[in-house]
């Protein structure tokens, strides 16, 4: 990718943003009305940064990323803009998207078996990924495949090339998927719940492989998870999603230490404590709302201990809080200054001190 293709901002200055999502909205028609899966999501992914997207199941994380990759089902109603280095991807012809997918933007899904073909050896599949965008011989592609398997820490990579996916463990398979994602030195890697389908004991290893992949390729990475703990120590910035919207955006520090949206507090309160790892609380009561025929107001209101009258009437917009880059969509942001999850959600199990401890420990492992 040459420098002249660098994204330029509206005033013409070169920016560091490789992927720019603006006012992305995705709906699915249903018998009950439009399912408003994504409602006006905007973000810029900067070169080489790790951006975490967190939120409970159904908050719109996957649909956002599928829209970026042009992989939504045909019935989806999409509007807004997705630019890769300034080039519009929304509505781009399939042939254009195929050039970008895999080469510039790679995606890693939750279940490695959805990405791997059971009837081909993993060596063949990694080599094909290399050959899809580069004219190299089969032998050279296999050499590169072995190199990639070694990079993601697969032992005896040469021998492993001949394995079929079913001959590998789930963790090994996900490493093969990561190797495929790295094959063409992408500029963006989107990993959607990459460890969720795997045994807890291999989750940390997969996160480590992802980090290696990110460092090796210099790619920017979008790391999607329902579990804030997974991205602690890895994400540079964090976006919290709820009911199809971004409700908090900031540096990892902003979001972990001085959250300004009660929902984020709730997610933090669900983190396990290192000193009492068996305790895993879910202090946010209730479930996320349906995103069909949504009532006015903030969608978190029914679950929010801090809600007041205005919360039921007006949906708050993302607005700056502790700094211009730390945004929250909450009428009660100020009520969170100096608060701990325990203050808000009536649990004394998690306090800021324990949280700080947790984040530091996780960083230590990285
Ligand atoms: N193909 C689809 N058709 C209809 N609704 C969908 C489809 N895909 C996702 N949804 C709905 O969109 C919302 C967001 O889903 P999703 O992005 O998968 O959530 P997350 O990844 O955060 O768990 C959910 O309400 C989900 O049921
Ligand atoms: Mg998902």
pLDDT score recorded for residue 230: 86
Q: State which of 60, 191, 239 you would mutate to test the pocket of ligand 1, scoring each by most atoms of that ligand within 8 A of its C-beta.
A: 60
Q: Which ligand is nearest to the CA of 55?
A: 1
C-alpha 28 – ligand 1 centre gap (Å)? 9
How crowded is residue 66: how many other Cβ atoms within 10 Å of its Cβ? 21
Strand-by-strand arrangement of the 33-46 sheet: 33-46, 17-30, 77-84, 87-88
Beta-strand pair 50-54/220-225: parallel
pLDDT in tens, 43-67: 999 999 999 999 999 999 999 999 9
CA of 175 to the centre of ligand 1 (A): 26
Q: How far apart are CA 130 and CA 285, in angstroms?
A: 47
pLDDT, tens digit, 9 for 90 and up, residues 217-236: 999 999 999 988 888 889 99
Lowest mean pLDDT among 4-13, 126-135, 163-172, 266-275: 4-13
For residue 75, the ligand closest to its alpha carbon is 1
Looking at per-residue confidence, does 243 or 286 come out higher? 243
Please, are residues 238 and 310 in contact by the beta-carbon 8 Å criterion?
Answer: no
| 92 or 344: which leads in pLDDT | 92
Task: Lowest mean pLDDT of 147-151, 260-264, 295-299, 351-355, name the range.
Answer: 351-355
Mean pLDDT of all residues belonging to the chain: 88
Are 327 and 250 a contacting pair, CB within 8 Å?
A: yes
Give the pLDDT of residue 157.
Answer: 96
Question: What pLDDT score does 102 carry?
Answer: 79
Q: Quote the CA–CA distance of 102 and 133 in Å, as a whole number.
A: 8
Res 350: pLDDT: 44
Q: Which domains does the chain have, with CATH numbers?
A: 108-223 (3.40.50.300), 260-365 (no CATH)
In ligand 1, the atom with minimum distance to the C-alpha of 59 is 22
Ligand 1 contact via 299 beta carbon (within 6 Å): no
For ligand 1, atom 4, which residue shows the shortest CA distance? 28
- Could you give phi then psi for residue 188, rounded to 5 degrees? -135, 130
- Closest C-alpha residue for ligand 1 atom 19: 58
Residue minimizing CA distance to atom 20 of ligand 1: 58
54 lines ligand 1 (CB under 6 A): no
Using CA atoms, how far residue 328 sits from 18, 86, 255, in Å, is: 24, 27, 10
Mutate to test the pocket of ligand 1, among 34, 37, 69, 294 (most ligand atoms within 8 A of CB): 37
Cβ contacts of 28 within 8 Å, gap of 6 or more: 34, 35, 37, 73, 75, 76, 77
On the question of pLDDT at 241 being above 50, the answer is yes
Instruction: State which ligand 1 atom lies nearest to the alpha carbon of 66.
Output: 17
Residue 348 three-state SS: coil
- Ligand in closest contact with the CA of 30: 1
User: Alpha carbon of 108 to those of 50, 66, 113, 178, 365: distances in Å?
Assistant: 14, 11, 11, 7, 23
69-123 confidence digits (pLDDT tens): 999 999 999 999 999 999 999 999 999 999 898 789 999 999 888 889 999 999 9
241 Cα nearest atom in ligand 1: 22
Please tell me which residue, 345 or 92, carries the higher pLDDT value. 92
Virtual CA dihedral for 157, 178, 207, 200, nearest 10 degrees? -80
153-170 pLDDT, tens digit per residue, is 999 999 999 999 999 999
């Amino acid at each position: 990718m040459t420098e002249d293709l660098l994204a330029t901002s509206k005033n013409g200055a070169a920016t560091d943003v490789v992927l720019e999502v603006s006012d992305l909205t995705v709906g699915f028609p249903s018998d009950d009305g439009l399912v408003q899966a994504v409602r006006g999501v905007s973000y810029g992914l900067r070169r080489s940064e790790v951006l975490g997207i967190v939120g409970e199941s159904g908050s719109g994380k996957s649909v956002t990323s599928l829209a970026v990759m042009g992989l939504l089902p045909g019935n989806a109603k999409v509007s807004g803009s997705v630019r890769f280095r300034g080039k519009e991807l929304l509505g781009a012809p399939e042939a254009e998207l195929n050039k970008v997918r895999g080469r510039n933007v790679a995606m890693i899904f939750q279940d490695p078996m959805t990405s791997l073909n059971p009837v081909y050896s993993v060596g063949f599949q990694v080599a094909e990924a290399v050959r899809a965008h580069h004219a190299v011989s089969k032998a050279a592609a296999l050499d590169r495949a072995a190199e990639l398997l070694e990079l993601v820490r697969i032992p005896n990579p040469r021998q492993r090339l001949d394995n079929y996916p079913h001959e590998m463990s789930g963790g090994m398979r996900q490493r093969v998927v990561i190797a495929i994602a790295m094959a063409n030195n992408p500029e963006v890697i989107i990993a959607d719940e990459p460890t969720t389908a795997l045994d807890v004991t291999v989750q940390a290893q997969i996160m480590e492989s992802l980090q290696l992949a990110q460092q090796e390729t210099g790619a920017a990475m979008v790391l999607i998870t329902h579990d804030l703990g997974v991205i602690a120590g890895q994400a540079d910035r964090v976006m919290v999603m709820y009911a199809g919207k971004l409700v908090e955006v900031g540096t990892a520090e902003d979001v972990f230490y001085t959250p300004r949206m009660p929902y984020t507090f709730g997610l933090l309160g669900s983190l396990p404590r290192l000193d009492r790892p068996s305790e895993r609380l879910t202090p946010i009561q209730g479930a996320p709302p349906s995103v069909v025929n949504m009532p006015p107001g903030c969608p978190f209101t029914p679950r929010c201990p801090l809600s007041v009258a205005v919360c039921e009437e007006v949906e708050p917009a993302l607005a700056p809080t502790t700094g211009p880059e730390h945004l929250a969509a909450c009428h009660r942001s100020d009520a969170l200054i100096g608060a701990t999850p325990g203050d808000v959600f009536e649990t004394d199990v998690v306090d800021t001190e324990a949280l700080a401890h947790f984040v530091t420990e996780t960083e230590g492992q990285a």
